Structures are given as C-alpha cells and as structure tokens.
A and B are shown apart, each in its own frame.
Chain A
Amino acid sequence: GAVVSQHPSRVICKSGTSVKIECRSLDFQATTMFWYRQFPKQSLMLMATSNEGSKATYEQGVEKDKFLINHASLTLSTLTVTSAHPEDSSFYICSASDLQGFSGNTIYFGEGSWLTVV
C-alpha cells in the first residue's frame, strides 16, 4: 500500500536553532499534505495544509513565520521550525493524499517526528 515517510523520526536541537522535518510520499503523488502537532497527553491538532506549488494554509493560532512549510514537489513537503524553543517540543506528524477524486480512503499518515528542544 501507499507509504508516507517522515524524517527524522527523532531530533534534538538547541534552543534558538531551526530544524527541518521532511514528509515524503513514496509511491504516489501527494498534491496535498497536512501537518499535525501533538503535545504530551493531548490529541493531534491540525497545524496547516500544504499544497504543492502554492502557499500553505495555516490553522488559526499557528504562526506561519515560525512554522515554515514548503511543498515544492508532488512527493515532498517540509516543515521547518524556526528559532525553536523548548515549548515547541512536540510530536509532529504529516498526512498525504492525492486528492484526485476524493473518496475518503486515500489518506496516509507518516510515522511522525519527535522534536525535543533543549
């Protein structure tokens, strides 16, 4: 079946630095990808919708200048956490679809990335 791969699975970075997380669709073209964030013992919250070739759409309360999303190709979306702070430590996960004829069953989630900012 279709696979979405995230990299890195775990990353530790120093406060003030930036870190990039990649989300790749391995065997299909993903016109749309979604980025979610999960704080400890909380549910996943949608951060933004990443559209290939255009600007991402951010959910209310998510700082677009802090969480830079780039969807430059049909198989890759990246999330860059800029000037990371300890409160950005979280589990970030992406999902992807081809959105060609929405059928509700072609959405795939990545494995997620654990970010720790020290």
Chain B
Amino acid sequence: KQEVTQIPAALSVPEGENLVLNCSFTDSAIYNLQWFRQDPGKGLTSLLLIQSSQREQTSGRLNASLDKSSGRSTLYIAASQPGDSATYLCAVSTSGTYKYIFGTGTRLKVLA
C-alpha cells in the first residue's frame, strides 16, 4: 500500500531564504507526482507535475525533482517570500489512474 510522507511537517524561515521540502513514497511504481499548494480555508493549486520518466520540473522560483528508484521528491523554493506561506502537499498517482495518494503536508511560514 502506497504511503506518502513529507518532512518537515512545519517550517518557518525568514524572507529570502532558499528552502527544500521533502516528499517520500514507499512504492516506486508511480505514474506521476504532483506538488500542490493549499492556502488556509482554500482549495488546491497545482504547482508542478512530474511524470515518472522525468527527473525534474521547473516553474518560476519552484523546482521539483523526482528520484523514483529511491522514492523521493523534493520541492525547491528559491528566494522565499511571505506570499509563499501555505501548506505544500505532494501526491503520487499509481497504476495509470488519476487516483492520488497525498502526503501529510508541510506547513510553510515565510517571515517578512
């Protein structure tokens, strides 16, 4: 059974810092992995999608990497801003379906 874990559970950093969020999954037979952002009381915003055949994806200040064999993904946020404060979720889909298993999330707070 696929399990997705995110470390750290919470993170507080000063503005401007580069930071890394970690995601690990137990079953490497994934189809793709997505990183999402969730603001308090809001829905999900998809940030980056990495297919199983890809190593990384970039969007602006965000870079996500995927090491399927070791069951790990990282989300790198460059030059963090207070507006980046949110909960970041990673989710993996398996077996060619759109079913996603979500991680536990990392609550990020960027201090001005």
Q: Contact between A93 and B43 (Cβ–Cβ < 8 Å)? A: yes
Bound together, the chains give a CA A34 to CA B104 distance in angstroms of: 19
Q: How large is the interface on B (under 10, 10 to 19, 20 to 34, 35 or more residues)?
A: 20 to 34
| Minimum Cβ distance to chain B for residue A57 (Å) | 10
Chain A at the B interface: SS class = strand
The dominant DSSP class at the B interface is strand
Whether A104 contacts B32 by the Cβ 8 Å rule is yes
| A-B CB pair tally, cutoff 8 Å | 55
Closest to A99 in B: B98
Query: Which B10-48 residues have a C-beta within 8 angstroms of A?
Result: 31-32, 36, 41-44, 46
Do A46 and B101 have beta carbons less than 8 Å apart?
A: yes
A82 to B100, CA, bound (A): 25
Whether the pair A46, B43 counts as a contact (CB closer than 8 A) is: no
Taken residue by residue from 82 to 118, chain A's Cβ proximity to chain B (1 for < 8 Å, 0 otherwise) reads as 0000000000010101010010110101111010000
Are A44's CB and B99's CB within 8 A? no
* A54 sits at the interface (CB 8 A): no
A99, A107, A112, A114 interface centre (most CB from chain B within 10 Å): A107
Docked pose: A32 CA to B46 CA in angstroms: 19
Closest to A106 in B: B98
The answer on a CB contact under 8 Å between B102 and A109 is no
Give Cα distance in the complex from A45 to B89, angstroms.
12
- Give the top 10 A-B pairs by smallest Cβ distance, nearest first: A112-B43, A111-B43, A104-B32, A44-B102, A43-B102, A97-B98, A109-B44, A107-B98, A43-B104, A102-B96
By a beta-carbon cutoff of 8 Å, the part of chain A in contact with chain B is 6, 32, 34, 36, 42-46, 49, 93, 95, 97, 99, 102, 104-105, 107, 109-112, 114
